Structure 1
Amino acid sequence: MSKLCLVVRGGWDGHDPVRATEVFIPALEDAGFFVDVEDSPEVYSDEATLARYDLIVQCLTMGSATVDEISGLRRAVANGAGFAGWHGGIIDSFRASTDYLQLVGAQFAAHPHAPADRGRIDVEAYREYTVRFTPAGKAHPITEGMSDFDVLTEQYWVLTDPLLEVLADCVLVPGNGDEWAEPVTMPVAWTRTWGKGRIFATSIGHTVDSLENPPVRALIERGLAWAAR
């Protein structure tokens, strides 16, 4: 039986929400989902419509949502809809909504600058780092069998709560001019349950190129499939 997926995209243009979501829509369709697309969170306030979906994929950086919209999203997830996304499209959304922050359990705080010796790197906030799978990640259906991999992209400083199950992490190493004195471990991919619903998120995904990196793409595709009802 086919399942229904809702893609909600928009917000800051720098994350290219249309092209970014188009990376994954074919895989969702190949997995048997009928996919609907909305360009604002307004649909979250329509309880009857939202109840139809088995998976909600959000790629909406910053922006705003009403109390009714966030309440509707929380209700849908608690009733069993999956909720998933990547990078700022899920963990830098609706900054003014504490109810949304509680639902997601992780919030983008910063992406520290690249080291002073970044040389050829053209983007100031890009860093080279290793995505490491945790013991939980090595046993989880999303990430079982995946190997640690290196990336060159934004490295998110993320604020989280203890309800997350971290599947992958990285080390944010201080460099010249950084204010923190010791390496800090940051989550990169995690899951969370909310009522009957499952949540998957990863901090990677700043550009379409980074999303098309084979291990990143595999991680997200597997996370979307796991989160679905």
Structure 2
Amino acid sequence: MKKFLKILGVTLLSIILLLSVALGTFMYKVKYGFPVSYETEKPAIQFPANRPAILVFTKTTGFRHAESIDASIPLLKGLGKAHNYFVYETAEGGVFNSEQLKQFSLVIFDNSTGRVLDDDQQAALEKYVEEGGSLMGIHGAGDDSHRWDWYETNLLGAKFSHHPLNPQFQQSDVRLSENVDSLFSKNLVKQWSNTDEWYVFFNQPKDVTVLYSINGDKIIPNGNMLWMTDKNFGMGANHPVAWYRQVGKGKTFYTSMGHSAVVWQNPDYLKLIEQGIAWSIQKN
């Protein structure tokens, strides 16, 4: 009997250790990205004349918000039809070259996570924005898996910390800030309700205009899990969830909302994305 219990104990301990290693490996890859390959071949794109072109980029090498991405594509294409935009969706990085980027009025990182572009492609996107292009990021595009200083500084202006885990999804009122660009304020509601996975950043975003915020004191921001026990903090009553800024001659716009397919069914959220596109492609 003692021998059996000893074998059982060793077996259970081995299983626990293996599960811990597997979970730790998975969490590391979520945070720092899975093995990466870079696509460098230029795609063949037929750009329609006299229509603004929008690049929707859905590549992920970190956590993939598959449901949100899948829900977003038909809606973004629907906005394209409604407003006469040409929407080109891809998960291939070969389009990030100077020749083709300059033909787009806007690039959207649609829940794109991890390191998704090589050095030359990153440089091409940086130049594109700084010389007058626009970049939009949705939800996962703002986590800390990208490892790209320019991107973190110019799209986010803040460093991602965590998101709540218990509960992961919470309802909150989303409030429109004062003194924002009239293209936004004249078309967006002043307050609406949304249920989402609220991203917590270490600091308030710098050098940006906050468009929407929530009262962070009214959500449970606890992101503690296993060995991560220092994530029980939030951003306070002023918790930004959408903001924009000028970058050189170009523009960036980011919203931390958009984790699930359900969010895309919220007409107020879709209006935010619609107005974000309109603001992004408007010439200065």
TM-score by length of 2: 0.69
2:86 alignment partner in structure 1: 34
1:23 alignment partner in structure 2: 75
Q: For 1:141, which of 175, 179, 183 is the aligned residue?
A: 183
Q: Are the equivalent residues in 2 in contact too, given 1:155–1:172 (CA < 8 A)?
A: no
Percent of aligned positions that are identical: 23
Q: Are the equivalent residues in 1 in contact too, given 2:163–2:221 (CA < 8 A)?
A: no
Is 1:58 aligned to residue 128 of structure 2?
Answer: no
Q: CA deviation at 1:29?
A: 2.8
More strand per residue: 1 or 2? 1
Letter of the 1:154 counterpart: E
Query: Unaligned stretches of 5+ in structure 1?
Result: 115-123
Write out the 4+ residue segments of structure 1 that deviate beyond 4 Å after TM superposition. 174-178
Q: CA deviation at 1:184?
A: 4.1
* Structure 1 residues 21 and 183: CA distance shift in structure 2, 3 A: same
Q: For 2:243, which of 190, 205, 210 is the aligned residue?
A: 190
Q: Are the equivalent residues in 2 in contact too, given 1:23–1:212 (CA < 8 A)?
A: no
State which structure, 1 or 2, has the greater radius of gyration over its C-alpha atoms: 2
Is the partner of 1:205 in helix, strand or coil? Answer: coil
- 1:17-166 → structure 2 map (5 Å cutoff): 17-44=69-96, 46-64=97-115, 65-88=117-140, 90-92=141-143, 94-104=145-155, 105-114=157-166, 124-137=167-180, 140-144=182-186, 145-158=188-201, 159-166=203-210
Q: Are the equivalent residues in 2 in contact too, given 1:87–1:202 (CA < 8 A)?
A: yes
Q: CA deviation at 1:92?
A: 2.4
Distance, in Å, in 2 between the alignment partners of 1:33 and 1:200 is 18
Distance, in Å, in 1 between the alignment partners of 2:100 and 2:74 is 22
Indicate the RMSD between aligned Cα atoms, in angstroms.
Answer: 2.4
Letter of the 2:80 counterpart: L
Q: CA deviation at 1:7?
A: 1.3
Q: Are the equivalent residues in 2 in contact too, given 1:190–1:202 (CA < 8 A)?
A: yes
Which has the bigger relative contact order, CA under 8 A and spacing at least 6?
Answer: 1
TM-score by length of 1: 0.84
Query: Unaligned stretches of 5+ in structure 2?
Result: 1-49, 223-230
More helix per residue: 1 or 2? 2
Q: Deviations over 1:53-85 (max 9, x none)?
A: 111111143221222111111111112122113
Is the partner of 2:215 in helix, strand or coil? Answer: strand
Aligned length: 217
Distance, in Å, in 1 between the alignment partners of 2:66 and 2:235 is 30
